[in-house]
Amino acid sequence: MTSPDSQRIAELWAGRYGSAAAVPQAITPTLEGLLQHRSVRAYAPRALPADTAASMVAAAQSASSSSTLQAWSVVAVEDAGRKARLAELVGDQRHVRECPLFLVWLADLARLDEIGARRELARDSLDYLEMYTVGVIDAALAAQNAAVAAEAMGLGIVYIGGIRDQPEAVAAELGLPPRVFAAFGMCVGYPDPERPASVKPRLPQTAVLHRETYDAAAGEPAVQAYNATMSAFYGEQGMKTQGTWDTHSVHRVRGPAAMKGRDRLTEALHALGFPLK
Amino acid sequence: MTSPDSQRIAELWAGRYGSAAAVPQAITPTLEGLLQHRSVRAYAPRALPADTAASMVAAAQSASSSSTLQAWSVVAVEDAGRKARLAELVGDQRHVRECPLFLVWLADLARLDEIGARRELARDSLDYLEMYTVGVIDAALAAQNAAVAAEAMGLGIVYIGGIRDQPEAVAAELGLPPRVFAAFGMCVGYPDPERPASVKPRLPQTAVLHRETYDAAAGEPAVQAYNATMSAFYGEQGMKTQGTWDTHSVHRVRGPAAMKGRDRLTEALHALGFPLK
């Protein structure tokens, strides 16, 4: 248990969970990379290799897709003016302005719609919540593969859920046709070495990994333990966080006043061509 | 352009796109692994290492999560009886019965609900489509990291969207509390070397990667090219596929009769505690 390898694994586990409980015996270089993910919001003013987006998209397209329908797309934004306008639309997030590459990941049912229209074929399923869900899942699987590829290239990323704050304005900015929805954004760039980000701890595995059936009783003790882990983390980072993780997380979901416009997501999707039957 | 490295990259690209167009100059081992993904439905009768689920979940938890709410969970099913019952519920898919480990990925708002209930805090946002979307995206990002970790360990996976065919029955089988939805399943196991799966080509990048704004005009020529690529693939694989990719894909979304019950997803989610406001 004191070999260099097991020591390294224990350190990776401690970074992710705040403790080295239940560490596996062995670990692949890929898992080692995944465990070191942190969201990067501070970027170096350094240009990306020309084929960055192409490589990330090849990774993204290699992810699974429901029935190989590939119900997603991505818009790569590098234009400074457009990044600045999008930064405003997502709640004035400066990293959207400052990153060299901003990706907007789309649930895209327009491609299937156009194929059907050209060939005069029915495509009524596109009107259902199921196909919205398929598009969102397809986009998320693709984006996560792209994130993994980017981090393996030495880049940093952060997801931007704020792209859902004003869906119609985002759609207008990007020229999205009906049946296309910007599900989330992603900043991409070289991390600024002078403003490094830290690996943020996650809930104990007991909270999220259920065996055979859902274990609701595992939640509360795991949350209590995680509150302590996160309070230590906030302290180390010098973060002024109100209360413990549990209370400030529930505060974030307290109601429409805290939703930054996303309480009207259904209305926005209707306007964008998703009837959500 | 004829170095062993560039040759290998060209081959990987050709496997994914059916041609070696727009190949990047360099490629990381991680991207190389991602490009080789194929969905595995034939498993060897070989037990998994004891810490497989724990390693996959550590990878899953390392993915980004909206506001670190971690609005997902996973149920790991190994019991033969339960796998057999779930196999029936997803449309009699034998790989669900035969895989050693079946993971059911959950959009999980119950943890936040319980925290709020215990502490008597409002959590009205949980009733909105936005939070359903957050749970589904969180689950998908987590699952894809787990898939990447599994494949790096030499395992194969396939996603099972059929878990949405009968959401209430799946919830009953897994003992899911209200506000928890099984978004998709995932078979995990060692690929059967005697029944290998192939890398399936994807749409040309021009169809999915848009620059600055959405390019609707790029779709049709890309679809035409992809039809030819896929027809060649079906032929190589000896697959009897009706028509070209475009027509059989639209046929899959022709309407409720083809949705295997998923046309009632809204109704099912209402019953499971997602008002979807």
pTM for the complete prediction? 0.97
pLDDT in tens, A91-112: 999 999 999 999 999 999 999 9
Identify the band that residue A241 occupies on the pLDDT scale cut at 50, 70 and 90. confident
Identify the band that residue B3 occupies on the pLDDT scale cut at 50, 70 and 90. low
Token pair of B205 as six digits: 């990048």
Tell me which chain A residue has its CA closest to the CA of residue B164. A130
Q: How far apart are CA A71 and CA A138, in angstroms?
A: 6
What pLDDT, on the 0 to 100 scale, is given for residue B4? 64
Examine the pLDDT at B203 and tell me if it is beyond 70: yes
Compute the average pLDDT of residues B29-45: 96
Examine the pLDDT at A201 and tell me if it is beyond 50: yes
Compute the average pLDDT of residues B227-235: 94
What pLDDT, on the 0 to 100 scale, is given for residue A19? 76
CB A48 within 8 A of CB A101: yes
Residue B142 Cα distances to A134, A193, B138, B260, angstroms: 16, 27, 6, 26
Examine the pLDDT at B1 and tell me if it is beyond 50: no
Examine the pLDDT at A2 and tell me if it is beyond 60: no
Of residues A31 and B24, the one with the higher pLDDT is A31
Residues β-bridged to residue B107: B72, B181
How many angstroms separate the CA of residue B195 from the nearest CA in chain A? Answer: 19
H or E, element range at A203: none
- The tally of CA atoms less than 13 A away on the side-chain side of residue B265 is 27
| Among A34, A102, A224, A274, the residue to mutate for chain B (most B Cβ within 10 A) | A34
SS (H, E, C) B161-193: HHHHCCHHHHHHHHCCCCCEEEEEEEEEECECC
Amino acid making up residue A195: R
Compute the average pLDDT of residues A188-214: 97
Examine the pLDDT at A59 and tell me if it is beyond 90: yes
Q: How far apart are CA B108 and CA A208, in angstroms?
A: 9
**Contact criterion met (CB < 8 Å) for A29 and B29:** yes
Examine the pLDDT at B65 and tell me if it is beyond 80: yes
ipTM surpasses cut 0.90: yes
pLDDT in tens, A248-269: 999 999 999 999 999 999 999 9
Of residues A143 and B26, the one with the higher pLDDT is A143
Identify the band that residue B18 occupies on the pLDDT scale cut at 50, 70 and 90. confident
What is the architecture, at CATH level 2, of domain A51-196?
A: 3-Layer(aba) Sandwich (3.40)
Q: What torsion do the CA atoms of A168, A170, A175, A179 make, to the nearest 10 degrees?
A: -50
What pLDDT, on the 0 to 100 scale, is given for residue B11? 87
**Which residues between 200 and 219 in chain A have a beta carbon less than 8 angstroms from any beta carbon of chain B?**
200, 202-203, 205, 207-214, 216, 219
B148 touches chain A (CB under 8 A): yes
Q: How far apart are CA A74 and CA A103, in angstroms?
A: 7
CB-nearest to B137 from A55, A119, A136 is A136
Closest residue by Cα to residue A224 from A247, A197, A251, A193: A247
Query: Taking the domains of chain B in order of start, what are their residue ranges?
Result: 11-37+198-237, 51-196
Compute the average pLDDT of residues B15-33: 83
What pLDDT, on the 0 to 100 scale, is given for residue A1? 41
Residue A58 Cα distances to A217, B34, B108, B142, angstroms: 42, 9, 30, 20
What pLDDT, on the 0 to 100 scale, is given for residue B132? 98
**Contact criterion met (CB < 8 Å) for A253 and B125:** yes
pLDDT in tens, B74-98: 999 999 999 999 999 999 999 999 9
Task: For Cα atoms A48, A153, A184, give the angle at the middle one, nearest 5 degrees.
Answer: 75
Query: How does the average pLDDT of chain B come out, rounded?
Result: 95
**Contact criterion met (CB < 8 Å) for B75 and A130:** no
| Among A39, A61, A230, the residue to mutate for chain B (most B Cβ within 10 A) | A61
Compute the average pLDDT of residues A18-46: 89
**Contact criterion met (CB < 8 Å) for B119 and A143:** no
| Among B250, B263, B270, B276, the residue to mutate for chain A (most A Cβ within 10 A) | B250
**Contact criterion met (CB < 8 Å) for B262 and A130:** yes
SS (H, E, C) A165-199: CCHHHHHHHHCCCCCEEEEEEEEEECECCCCCCCC
Cβ-based contacts of A63 with chain B (< 8 Å): 34, 37, 144, 147
Of residues A6 and B277, the one with the higher pLDDT is B277
CB-nearest to A140 from B16, B137, B249 is B137
How many angstroms separate the CA of residue A194 from the nearest CA in chain B? Answer: 22
Cβ-based contacts of A18 with chain B (< 8 Å): none
Amino acid making up residue A63: A
Q: How far apart are the first and last CA of chain A?
A: 56
Q: What Rg value do the Cα atoms of chain A yield, rounded? A: 21
For residue A260, with 0-12 CB atoms within 10 Å meaning exposed, 13-18 middle and 19 or more buried, which class applies?
Answer: middle
**Which residues between 249 and 268 in chain A have a beta carbon less than 8 angstroms from any beta carbon of chain B?**
249-256, 258-259, 262-263, 265-266
